[in-house]
Amino acid sequence: MTPQLCARLTRTDLVMTTRARVTLVSSQLRRAAIALALLGASACHGSSPHAAGAGPSPRGSKRTVIVLGFDGFARRYLDADSAPALHALARSGVTARGMIPSFPTITFPNFYALATGLYPDHSGIVNNRFFDPAHDSAFEYKKPVAHEAYWWGGEPIWVTATKQGAPAATMFWVGSDAPVGGVRPELWHSYDHAVQFSARVDTLLAWLDLPASQRPRLLMGYFEEPDMQGHRHGPDSPETHQAVLRVDSALAQLVSGLQARKLYESVDIVIVADHGMAQISPEQVVYLDDVVDSASVDVVTMAPNLSIRARDGDNDALLGKLRKLPHVTVWKKADVPARLHYGTSARITPIVAVTDPGWMIAWRHGKPLDLLGEHGYDNANPDMHALFLAHGPDFKAGTTIDDFPNIDVYDLLARLLGVTPAPNDGTLAPFAAVLR
Q: How far apart are CA 193 and CA 40, in angstroms?
A: 11
| 37, part of any domain | yes
275 belongs to a structural domain: no
The three-class DSSP label of residue 405 is strand
**Spatial CB neighbours of 300, under 8 Å, sequence gap ≥ 6:** 127, 129, 130, 131, 307, 308, 309, 349
Any domain includes 276: no
Q: Which of 274, 374, 276 is nearest to 69 (CA)?
A: 274
Q: Does pLDDT of 22 surpass 50?
A: no
Same-domain check for residues 160 and 110: yes
Whole-number pLDDT of residue 62: 85
Quote the CA–CA distance of 133 and 398 in Å, as a whole number.
49
CATH number of the CATH domain containing 224:
3.40.720.10
How far does Cα 298 stand from its chain's mean position?
Answer: 27
3-state helix, strand, coil in the chain (%, to 5): 30, 20, 50
Catalytic site residue from 64, 107, 240, 301: 107
The verdict on 185 and 138 lying in the same domain is: yes
User: What is the model's pLDDT at position 58?
Assistant: 52
pLDDT at residue 165 greater than cutoff 70: yes
Give a yes or no: residue 274 inside a domain.
Answer: no
Amino acid at 257: G
CA distance 2 to 409: 29
Looking only at the bridges linking them, the beta strands covering 351-355 and 305-310 are: antiparallel
Same domain, 239 and 385: yes
- 47 and 134 share a domain? yes
Give whole-number Cα distances, 203 to 170, 185, 219, 414, in Å: 10, 15, 10, 23
Whether residues 341 and 263 share a domain: the answer is no
Pick the more confident residue, 57 or 306: 306
Averaged over 277-301, what is the pLDDT? 97
427 is catalytic: no
Query: Does any domain span residue 279?
Result: no
Same domain, 349 and 391: no
- Together in a domain, 163 and 301: no
Q: pLDDT of 217-263, one tens digit each?
A: 999 999 999 999 999 999 999 999 999 999 999 999 999 999 999 99
The CATH number of residue 326's host domain is 3.30.1360.180
pLDDT digits (tens, 9 = 90+) for 338-374: 999 999 999 999 999 999 999 999 999 998 899 999 9
CA atoms within 13 A on the CB side of 250: 26
Same domain for 59 and 12: yes
How confident is residue 61, by pLDDT bands cut at 50, 70 and 90? low
The amino acid present at 300, given as its one-letter code, is V
Please name which of 271, 292, 232 lies closest in space to residue 99, comparing C-alpha atoms. Answer: 271
pLDDT at 320 over 60: yes
CB 302 within 8 A of CB 252: no
pTM of the model: 0.88
Give the Cα separation of 351 and 302 in Å (integer). 12
Give yes or no: residues 338 and 236 share one domain: no
| pLDDT above 90: percentage of residues in the chain | 84
> Residue 423's Cα: distance from chain center in Å?
19
In a domain, 375, yes or no: no
436 found inside a domain: no
Residue 87, domain extent: 3-269+380-431
How many domains would you assign to the chain? 2
- Letter string b/e over residues 15-43, b meaning 16 or more CB atoms within 10 A of that residue's CB: bbbeeeeeebbeebbeebbebbeeeeebe
Residues 216 and 76 in one domain: yes
Residues 101 and 239 in one domain: yes
> What count of residues does the chain have?
436
How confident is residue 18, by pLDDT bands cut at 50, 70 and 90?
very low
Whether residue 150 is found in the same domain as residue 51: yes
Is the pLDDT confidence value at 406 over 90? yes
| 13 within 8 A of 193, measured Cβ to Cβ | no
Note the pLDDT of residue 80. Answer: 82
